[in-house]
Structure 1
Amino acid sequence: MTLNFHAFHNTWIDQLWQLHLQLRHAPPTLSAEEHHHQLLHLVQRSLSHYHEYYRVKSLSARSDDVLSLFSAPWTSALERSLHWIGGWRPTVAFHLIYSESSILFESHVVDILRGRRTGDLGDLSPAQFRRVSELQCDTVRQENDITDDLSDWQDGANYLAGTYEDIDRRMERLAGILVRADELRLKTIKNLVELLTPKQAAEFFIAAAELHFGIRGWGLEHDHRRSTVRQ
């Protein structure tokens, strides 16, 4: 199953790149309404793409060696150094929203101050900012709960002894912790998309993909240089 997930991950990354390109280059159609529906369709496809990733990963965690999902050999060393319980930390999504909002606000500040609505992430309403902040606080709380659960598991593992059945139960519990972390990652994405317009959600997915590919690219290049030096 580990090798199968490795192959699935690589295919999923390729498909993410294609979705990213479609979001970036979604052409304005004949009407604003058509463009709105086009972006909405691509946002829903992006959500489904992330949902499928965590669905397959959950199956792998339950039926395979969960430790392989923590070590994630299909990622670069840099990516793994940034992982929180087998993946990205959910609160990164909020930092991404704030960062993109600030960048876009600065680029359109004159239009916004003149009352012209840009409709992008730089044009988040006070109600949207308030809801993002509330979601962030709730997500931090859930992150901390899961981190505490993992810490408790690690404390017990330091004195690991007993039968194979005892070890299997511990691995099942670790798999449950990983699945909870992935569920929070997916829920965070869904909750953010629900409070954004299709245009804003598309910009969020574009920024998330670019961050993903940027870190992955740097990490793979770093790994390649290190392997070349060793040879």
Structure 2
Amino acid sequence: MCLFQILKLNNKLKEKTADQKTLRRLAQNREAARKSRLRKKAYVQQLESSRLKLTQLEQELQRARQQGIFISSSGDQAHSMSGNGALAFDVEYSRWLEEHNRLINELRAAVNSHAGDTELRTVVDNVTAQFDDIFRLKGIAAKADVFHILSGMWKTPAERCFLWIGGFRSSEILKLLVSQLEPLTEQQVAEICNLQQLSQQAEDALSQGMDALQQSLAETLASGTPATSGSSGNVANYMGQMAMAMGKLGTLDGFLRQADNLRQQTLQQMHRILTTRQSARALLAINDYFSRLRALSSLWLARPRE
């Protein structure tokens, strides 16, 4: 075979190889485009599903309002909870969050416009007082359905990830604020660190109490003989066992109340330590933190799935 024929054959082989690479690349591009279309379609479908669920929830809340199953700001709150405690609290929490966002926007505007201390203090006091409202509402709701409040089902998934006895850990919030409020005086730093330490100790004590309660409850439910044989003795033992378990569950709202008291007192002590403007910045930082958690939950639920 002459040199010319060899070169010609090599060129053909190169062209064939190049054509195969091109075909593979085109096939890969088509496959990638197909998967992209599928992901986009799934994402759009999920958004539509989320929209329908939101619409259904809004309709349920509207029906609840029409039926009077919510906490009236001027009526008998404990009585209005009796119909459906979980739904009633969810409706009221939604209202609280809407009002909270309005107050935070007012606070942010006052800070950005460099409002005077007197005006700023009024807005700060309004936001702080609103925190007192949610603690009161949780206490009422816990009497109707303590499991709903403790489980945090009224919050978003990302918020529930950091939930501690039906709410936030005061010690973690204080850690967050120390880095957000610089510069602080040496005395302020010392007082905040002391408050953080006291909060941590109180949290540890409550956590140990909850652990002990859960252990005791598990032991109570695990002991005894199930009432399956039909004998009156077994039935009596079973009922006694359930009565003991119910009595222990009755202490759950006490743990929730103590945890909320700790959160409330921590916020009050924080405002005592900080200046008016620092308190305003602290409240904005706390709000921004929980807003990001709620946004993270929305993004997570709406993420594309393969």
* Alignment match, 2:301: 223
* Alignment match, 1:28: 114
* Alignment match, 1:116: none
Q: What amino acid is the match of 2:107?
A: L
TM-score, normalising length: structure 2: 0.63
What is the Cα deviation at residue 89 of structure 1? 0.9
Deviations 1:9-60 (A, max 9, x none): 111111111111111111335xxxxx10111001111110000100110111
Deviations 1:66-89 (A, max 9, x none): 111122222222211111111111
1:130 and 2:190 matched = yes
Out of 175, 180, 187, the position equivalent to 2:258 is: 180
Task: Indicate conservation of the 8 Å contact 1:77/1:223, yes or no.
Answer: no
What is the Cα deviation at residue 164 of structure 1? 4.5
**Distance (Å, rounded) in 2 between the aligned partners of 1:126 and 1:178:** 34
1:172-211 matches, cutoff 5 A:
172-211=250-289
TM-score, normalising length: structure 1: 0.82
Q: What amino acid is the match of 2:216?
A: G
**Distance (Å, rounded) in 2 between the aligned partners of 1:65 and 1:4:** 10
RMSD: 1.7
Out of 90, 93, 98, the position equivalent to 2:170 is: 90
Task: Indicate conservation of the 8 Å contact 1:93/1:189, yes or no.
Answer: no
Q: What amino acid is the match of 2:208?
A: D
Out of 47, 67, 89, the position equivalent to 1:5 is: 89
**Distance (Å, rounded) in 1 between the aligned partners of 2:298 and 2:172:** 21
**Distance (Å, rounded) in 1 between the aligned partners of 2:256 and 2:164:** 10
Deviations 1:120-142 (A, max 9, x none): xx231111111111111111111
Q: Structure with the greater relative contact order (CA < 8 A, sep ≥ 6): 1 or 2?
A: 1
Task: Indicate conservation of the 8 Å contact 1:78/1:215, yes or no.
Answer: yes
* Alignment match, 2:131: 50
* Alignment match, 2:202: 142
Task: Indicate conservation of the 8 Å contact 2:170/2:262, yes or no.
Answer: yes
Matched positions, count: 202
Q: Which protein shows a greater Rg?
A: 2
What is the Cα deviation at residue 163 of structure 1? 4.6
What is the Cα deviation at residue 202 of structure 1? 0.2
1:171 and 2:249 matched = yes
* Alignment match, 1:41: 122
* Alignment match, 1:117: none
**Distance (Å, rounded) in 2 between the aligned partners of 1:69 and 1:84:** 11
Q: What amino acid is the match of 1:36?
A: D
Q: What amino acid is the match of 1:211?
A: Y
* Alignment match, 2:103: 19
Deviations 1:83-128 (A, max 9, x none): 1111111112211221203xxxxxxxxxxxxxxxxxxxx2311111
**Distance (Å, rounded) in 2 between the aligned partners of 1:186 and 1:152:** 24
Deviations 1:124-173 (A, max 9, x none): 11111111111111111111110110010110121233454323322221
Q: What amino acid is the match of 2:183?
A: D
Out of 55, 63, 66, the position equivalent to 2:146 is: 66
Give the unaligned 5+ runs of structure 1: 30-34, 102-121
Secondary structure at 1:91's aligned position in 2?
helix
